[in-house]
Amino acid sequence: MFGYRVKKGQKVLEVDANKAIIVRRLFELRRFCRHWSLAQLAERLNREGYRTEKGKRFTKVQVKRMLNRENFYRGVYTYGQIQTNGKHPAII
């Protein structure tokens, strides 16, 4: 999941500080520019110099995936209709 990494030999997620900056920036943009499309959000991240884990430009699909995972980024784990505090640290 973008913004997290797994420690080698463990099954625990930890925050990837460099990627977490991008996640926080995306949610900040979404909060203040609610009328922007997914493509506009992706383009703004790209113009600001942010890149994906593979060093590529963000697309609207990647932006949508991150925005759809807002609860997870807030530290909440969802399984079906059940929500609980996750064991992973929150990014936003």
Closest Cα partner for 10 from 90, 88, 91, 92? Answer: 88
Taking the complete model, does pTM exceed 0.85, yes or no?
A: yes
Is the pLDDT reported for residue 88 higher than 90? yes
What's the pLDDT band for 46 if we cut at 50, 70, 90? very high
